[in-house]
A = this chain, B = another copy of it.
Amino acid sequence: MDDTRVIEIKKSVFADNDKDAALLRRELKERGVFLLNLMSSPGSGKTTTLIRTINLLKDKMNIAVMEADIDSDVDAVKIKEGTGIQSIQLHTGGMCHLDAEMTRQGLDNLELGGTDLVILENVGNLVCPAEFDTGSSANAMILSVPEGHDKPLKYPLMFSVCDLVLVNKIDVMPYFDFDMDKCEEYVHLRNPKAQIIPICAKTGEGVGKFAQWLEQKVEEQKL
């Protein structure tokens, strides 16, 4: 565990985050790096989903992960132990989100040469991360079944900025009052173009579809 690098992220000095994010997105495209910004509530299963997905993709492409958290390095360690890929921990200094400059600080600590895909696991939070463009090539979020199907009504911005919504923990559907039809209806109310993939990170169900989606996005950006 002692070889996991923890990066202490400094507060951004840039006034115009949207401009900085657009610049970072362009730079990454030129370097052939696809950046996925993955968001969710705390405990929705981001890290477990990533381990499953990376293990399906790591023989096809080079992947690195940045784990953002306020404290601890448990997620970066889990990714490294579970996949063997390059994984660093970003500490946000108490901040509830990452913006483009903070994301850039993380990227500066990765070996990007030959890397096809970088996944940023954002701070667990359905509010603030949605407000700041990280410069990512695409945004995805995980909504887990125990959280309930009404979340798109309460956290509209998060669902409107995401290209993909993964509905995780579908194995426990029988124990929760979760209505998948209503979930889809509410997600599309916020974002008619959002794709929805039901998954179970624990068993692996549906994770192949997410891996396919990701592989296709990485390929498309290289065109």
B-contacting residues of A (Cβ < 8 Å)? 41-44, 69-72, 74, 94, 96, 123-128, 131, 144, 146-148, 150-151, 153-157, 169, 171-172, 175-176
Contacts and interface: CB of A to CB of B under 8 A. Distances in A.
Interface of A is mostly: loop
B43 A42 contact: no
A146 B94 CA distance: 24
Contacts of A43: 41, 144, 146-148, 151
A72 B128 contact: no
B126 A128 contact: no
A157 B69 CA distance: 12
Q: Report the 6 A-B pairs with minimum CB-CB distance, sorted nearest first.
A: A43-B147, A96-B127, A146-B146, A72-B153, A43-B148, A41-B42
A147 B124 CA distance: 11
Contact of A127 (B128, B156, B157): B128
